[in-house]
Amino acid sequence: MAEVLKGKPVADAMKEELKQKVAALKERGITPTLGIVRVGARPDDLFYEGGAKKTCDVVDMAYQVFEYPEDISQEDFEQAIIEVGNNKAINGILMFAPLPKHLDEKKIRTMIPVAKDVDCLTLGGAAKIFADDPTGFPPCTPAACMDMLHFYNIPIKGKRCVVLGRSLVVGKPVAMLLLREHGTVTICHSRTLDLPGVCREAEILIAAVGRAKMVKANFVKPGQIVIDVGINEDPDRPGKYCGDVDFAEVEPIVEKITPVPAGVGSVTTAVLCKQTIMACELQNA
Ligand code: NAP
């Protein structure tokens, strides 16, 4: 039986620390504020937004929602983003993506000020992560993976880390963060040969493929730490969701594993607030 690494205790501890940081900023007359930019009203976005607002309330920081109609023109949305970016009251920006297809998302991303890019939507933000610049903010999910490892005292230095997935949102940044902490990192993707064999080599395995229960018993071995980033519809339980790891097969084999739900996903809004507070501190240093 593996130790199941839940996200809630990680998020709770982080929120306690954040409350103190917010109180210290408020004593200086500063209220850290998250700007949430949303086009339309996709249920997933609204769900995440609800969680982000709740976490802001818990840590006593502020948020403002900037909501735009689904059919907003490129020109109007560019203007809106410039205004949010220039808004001195906003310290960090969360913009839901993908944007509707008629909008040039690549261009709009470049208009977010890097100093307020708390979810790594800009290339400038990504460059900071790849350059180990401590003023950069990784996307919240890879940062949450690292917070899980730290909270549960899992050593990274010198460990063999395998990251399954190479997206800019999860795979690549989490690989860079592991490397920063001296892990020996392998990144796998859809063209990797002998995927189960490579994953079995890992001491820390991070699964971020977006394929329900793809990581089976033959991908793992005893002693491993498995961090499951996946959020997929569960093919066996309609209406529920599951990870990229087949928990029922893998959990009896490995040493520690994060569940889905209640794992990494429970930490991401706390990370979003943490990074907004950090941005606020840097902007007011
Ligand atoms: P993505 O952009 O679709 O990337 C998936 C990656 O997995 C790609 O690099 C792809 O390889 C690789 N891959 C796909 N099928 C594969 C296969 N059969 N064998 C080997 N590699 C394969 O997904 P993502 O945005 O990184 O998200 C990954 C998962 O994390 C999803 O389940 C998503 O819902 C979840 N997620 C969770 C959170 C959270 O808060 N917990 C946040 C973001 C994402 P190629 O590059 O070769 O195509």
Report the nearest atom of ligand 1 relative to the CA of 230. Answer: 32
Decide whether any atom of ligand 1 lies within 6 Å of the 94 Cβ.
Answer: no
Q: What is the mean pLDDT of residues 3-11?
A: 98
Ligand 1: centre distance to CA 169 (Å): 9
29-113, CATH topology level: Rossmann fold (3.40.50)
Nearest ligand 1 atom to alpha carbon 209: 7
Query: What is the domain partition of the chain in residue ranges?
Result: 29-113, 140-265
Which pLDDT score, from 0 to 100, does residue 104 have? 98
Residue 265 in contact with ligand 1 by CB distance below 6 A: yes
pLDDT value at residue 31: 98
The band of 167, judged by pLDDT with boundaries at 50, 70 and 90, is very high
Q: Is the CB of 167 under 6 A from ligand 1?
A: yes
Mean pLDDT of 45-62: 98
pLDDT tens, position by position, 208-263: 999 999 999 999 999 999 999 999 999 999 999 999 999 999 999 999 999 999 99
208 CA to middle of ligand 1, Å?
Answer: 5
CA 100 to ligand 1 center in whole angstroms: 21
Q: Is the pTM of this model over 0.85?
A: yes
pLDDT at 82: 98
Give the pLDDT score at 177. 98
Q: What is the pLDDT of residue 221?
A: 98
Residue 100: predicted pLDDT:
98
CA of 145 to the centre of ligand 1 (A): 14
What is the per-residue pLDDT for 126?
97
pLDDT band at 54 (very low <50, low <70, confident <90, very high): very high
Residue nearest to atom 5 of ligand 1 (CA): 209
Q: What is the pLDDT of residues 271-285, one digit of tens each?
A: 999 999 999 999 999
pLDDT for 164: 98
Query: How far is the centre of ligand 1, averaged over its atoms, from the C-alpha of 228 (Å)?
Result: 11
> Among candidates 42, 173, 21, 25, which has minimal Cα distance to 95?
42
**Ligand 1 mutation pick, 189, 215, 247, 271, max ligand atoms within 8 A of CB:** 189
CATH class of the structural domain 140-265? alpha beta
Model pLDDT for residues 171-221, shown as the tens digit of each residue: 999 999 999 999 999 999 999 999 999 999 999 999 999 999 999 999 999
Banded pLDDT at 39 (limits 50, 70, 90): very high
Residue with CA at minimum distance from ligand 1 atom 35: 230
- What are the tens digits of pLDDT across the range 99-115? 999 999 999 999 999 99
Q: What tens digit of pLDDT does each residue of 135-150 get?
A: 999 999 999 999 999 9
Distance of alpha carbon 233 from alpha carbon 215, whole angstroms = 15
Report which protein residue has its CA nearest ligand 1's atom 16. 190
Indicate if ligand 1 lies below 6 Å from the C-beta of 191.
yes
Instruction: pLDDT band for 87, please (50, 70, 90 cuts).
Output: very high
- List the residue whose alpha carbon is closest to atom 20 of ligand 1: 190
